[in-house]
Chain A
Amino acid sequence: MLSKSEAPALGTTAVRLKNITKRFPGIVANDRVNFEVKAGEIHALLGENGAGKSTLLNILAGLYRPEEGEIFLREEKTTLRGPADAIKKGVGVVYQHFKLVPNQTVAENVALGMRQPRFLLNLKKIENDLTELGQNYNLAVRPATRVGTLSVGEQQRAEILRALYLGATILALDEPTANLTPKETEGLFTAIRRLAEQGYAIIFVSHKLEEVVSLASRATILRGGKAVATLDLKGLPGEKEQIARLMIGREADSQSELELGMLDEVPLEKKAAPIPEVVSAQLTLQVRGLHVKGEVLNSTVKDVSFEVHPGEMVGLVGVAGNGQRELAEALAGLRRAERGDVTLNGADLTNRSARQVHRAGVAFVPEDRLGVGSAAGLNLEDNFLLRDYWRPEYSAGPFLRRKAVREGLGAAIGQYSIAVGDAYAPARLLSGGNLQKLLLARELNSQPKLLIVANPTRGLDINASAYVHNKLRQARDQGAAVLLILEDLDEAFLLCDQLLVMYEGRIMGKLPPVRSAANLENIGLLMAGSSLAATHS
């Protein structure tokens, strides 16, 4: 039967990578990387977008073969001949984009990875084992449920349990918190700590330095494919700054420092600039009594009304899955509204086609960048062109003006420092953060009147986040109305002029982005679905 292999003794070396080099056309993704993780350690792997973190994990997962270098598992030199081989040798990797089969249950997905019982499957036993394992490690899942119907957090727990059940003692998590709610993140951290105590070796990739310093005991920093340093994290002040500096290779922009919380006090006036009266008289986006059918009942948008003025940045905050996506899609012309209306500068945009809405000046960066926001099999040029190919800038009559497109793309790659080896490689080969930058560059390029962005900095490194924040502010200051869908309250406070709290498809209230205790409590209440008792108007 299946061997749930024992985790090695604490403190022994679980993984050692020596001089690992992996090249892709036009880029050295990992350049003689040395990396070591001990049993019982939570080791953060950090670096800017495109630094080579996911590539290194893919090597550990047996997906990529390094061109040079050696891999030692438990002090034993090995070669990983493929994903199955890596699993057999106790390495479990949970990817940025999950890999479970959506049409099958959690238990079935686990069974798919098992080699032992070739013909007879005892699903019931697997289900029970998974439940038990989940309880032990604070990773609750429903093993008999189809994966496609699970929430992101639960899918991730299922991925982790699968790895554990298949015998992983080395667990690598690629940006596991990017899509989690704060509560889910908390739960995940409890699980990770518990696993580490048991002697599991954990590799943890994240762009959120706050989490890193609170969770990890060591950190290895990649820059441009090279491992530039490994630090012991002791929770001392100044650690974050040190990491940031190592990641970037120079001082962080003052903007990034500010956002990192390196400069303690953020002057409040600076961001919450009041809207000039003249401008607010002329509404940009006006939504009245909007109803949109959602994927599930909770995410059905019910009777939503709000406004976004030119020169204003409004944050739609709330726990994911409460109708934010449906609302944004309806505003972008990608989902039918059942009732209510949407106007932009007085022009009716209710249930217009995506093209009409876009032509009217609405830019939109959807949540699912790979599945909706890009044609990932096509190259960067085509993806840069995706939404704007019909504009006179890029076309003449029925023909495309490829030269103009290339110039535009070149400028975008430069301005947003998108790290690419080859602009003609398919977009899906971009690192997560770089794809995101490409989408933002494309949408902002059209100088929109209304800009809707879902989680603008998810997966972005510090400098890129700061850069995107600046771009968003710039768009706002130039008179665009900006609507952000945010799960991260810190980001909401930092950026927005107004916050709308969404719960079960309704807008529960409108609050100022003030970090006072009372306000925070109010937001918390609204996000959890209770209405405010006379505390706020």
Chain B
Amino acid sequence: MSLRQRAVKELEIQKTLVALPPRQIYPSTAALAVATPVLSVLVALVIAAIILFLSGKDAFFILTEIVHTSFIQNFSETVVKAIPLTLAALGVSLAFRARLWNIGAEGQFYGGVLVATALALGFPGLPAPVIIPLMVAGGLLGGAIWGLLPGLLRAWLDVNEIISSLMLNYVALLLTDYFIFGPWRDPKGFNFPVTATFSDAARLPVLVTNTRIHLGLVFAIIAAALVWLLVSRTKWGFELKVMGDNLKAARYAGINITRNIVIAFLLSGALAGLAGMSEVTGIAGRLQQNLSPGYGYTAIIIAWLARLNPWAIILVAVLFGGLVSSGFTMQRVGVSSGLVTLLQGIVLFCVLGGESLYRRLLYQAALRRSNQGSNQGPDQLKDKES
């Protein structure tokens, strides 16, 4: 190759360097993560309106009433519900990233509840600055232990984690029953299956006066930030992503798959445990039956809809928090509870069914954008530089 040729080649290389295609063309997952739930809810509202109309109700009134109560008048209750949902969904999202199907968030939630309760009941005299960090650690630990089991089984023996994590949900629930019917039952509780009320120090402080919004909100936001940092900025997050895409490639990349499976389950469980701990110490103030109306299961749906994006998880958790609390509103305005469930189902359906549609829409939009760009011809390079 002559010197001239080489120089030309060098120049070509530099040109290509500049022309590294821009990021916006492909719909980023973050855009999808926000678009999917928002669009779905809108579509669902329309369908819901039609159904209500057909069943002879004043659809407009009912829907505005729901939106009004859930998201304006009683928004604080929506937030209260969103706290455990966010934490648990962040937890499962971590495992899902590596395509580990941890559906045991419900059990891990109770893992956190049990340890936190044990601490609250065991050390009633400790002041808040001591007992609260202790309970936070306990909640994380309890959930982690509950997550550890399916993680180890999967990592070492290749036992299907769906089944093992699901089964452990029942174990956790029964264990909780055992404690509140047995050793932890409040002697002054008229034989109800509840524990004694926690000391005031062992209650998470309320953040906003006249509401039930508690310190757990801060935990949820911090957790979202940490999860975001972990998955998008760290080597470990990258490893999870590779494992989720192709295990063989992960092996080829030199990733320690066994270890990562265990860690993913530990962290996943720990976050669900923190959700349980905040709920029992922030809302209930004692351990009772049915502490969770299935938060751990709803969390799976939330994580999925948010496309595992931590910020979107907060958003979707608030939407679902609103959906949960809308049940009361609808009954108040004369919609039967069956219809309430139906409406919640429609939202879900729209979200799940709509996803591929939104993806296509975004893709088409991207295609249009990029073609407009390429029609400009030689100016294109300049555009990309600026």
Contacts and interface: CB of A to CB of B under 8 A. Distances in A.
Interface string B238-249: 110110011011
Contacts of B20: 406, 409-410, 413, 423
Interface string B219-255: 0000000000000011110110110011011111111
A378 B242 contact: yes
Contacts of A402: 233
A422 B233 contact: no
Which 10 residue pairs across A and B have the least CB separation, nearest first? A355-B254, A414-B16, A375-B245, A414-B13, A354-B254, A377-B245, A375-B249, A25-B25, A422-B25, A410-B20
Nearest to B249: A375
A374 B249 contact: yes
Interface in B250-272: 250-256
Contact of A389 (B235, B246, B252): B235
Contacts of B12: 414, 417
Given A414-B13, A415-B13, 16 more contacts: A253-B1, A354-B251, A355-B255, A372-B249, A374-B246, A375-B250, A378-B242, A379-B26, A382-B242, A387-B254, A389-B238, A400-B234, A413-B20, A414-B14, A422-B21, A423-B21
Name the residue in A366, A377, A422 with the highest tally of chain B Cβ atoms < 10 Å from its Cβ.
Answer: A422
Interface in B90-127: none
Interface of B: 1, 12-17, 20-23, 25-26, 28, 233-236, 238-239, 241-242, 245-246, 248-256, 363, 366-367, 370-371, 374
Interface residues of A, number: 50
Nearest to A394: B235
A26 B370 contact: yes
22 contacts: A23-B367, A254-B1, A333-B254, A354-B254, A364-B252, A372-B248, A373-B249, A374-B249, A376-B246, A382-B242, A385-B238, A387-B252, A387-B254, A389-B235, A398-B234, A410-B16, A411-B13, A413-B16, A414-B16, A414-B17, A415-B13, A422-B370
A464 to B, nearest CB: 14
A420 interface: yes
Contacts of B255: 355
B17 A410 contact: yes
Given A376-B245, A382-B242, A421-B21, A366 B367 contact: no
Contacts, number: 124
B235 to A, nearest CB: 5
Nearest to A253: B1
A119 interface: no
Contact of A371 (B13, B246, B371): B246
Given A28-B374, A386-B242, A366 B26 contact: no
A390 interface: yes
Given A371-B246, A378-B241, A420-B21, A395 B253 contact: no
Given A414-B17, A420-B21, A354 B241 contact: no
Q: Is the interface of B mostly helix, strand, loop or mixed?
A: helix
Given A23-B367, A374-B249, A406-B20, A424 B26 contact: yes
Contacts of A253: 1
Interface in A381-440: 382, 385-387, 389-390, 395, 398-400, 402, 406, 409-411, 413-415, 417, 420-425
Contacts of A415: 13
Contacts of A409: 20
A472 B15 CA distance: 25
A379 B23 CA distance: 11
Nearest to B21: A422
A400 B230 CA distance: 10
Contacts of A373: 249, 252
Contacts of A414: 12-17
B252 A372 contact: yes
B249 A422 contact: no
A423 B17 CA distance: 12
A358 interface: yes
B25 A421 contact: yes
A25 B26 contact: yes
B264 to A, nearest CB: 15
A378 B235 contact: no
Given A355-B254, A377-B246, A387-B252, A424 B13 contact: no
B144 to A, nearest CB: 19
Contacts of A26: 21, 25, 370, 374
A513 B14 CA distance: 38
Contacts of B254: 333, 353-355, 358, 387, 390
Contacts of B252: 332, 334, 354, 364, 366, 372-373, 386-387
A451 to B, nearest CB: 15
B263 to A, nearest CB: 13
Nearest to A388: B253
Contacts of B21: 26, 420-424
Given A25-B25, A413-B16, A414-B17, A398 B248 contact: no
Given A375-B246, A422-B26, A25 B16 contact: no
Contact of A378 (B236, B245, B367): B245
A270 to B, nearest CB: 16
A411 B17 contact: yes
A373 to B, nearest CB: 7
Contacts of A422: 21-22, 25-26, 370
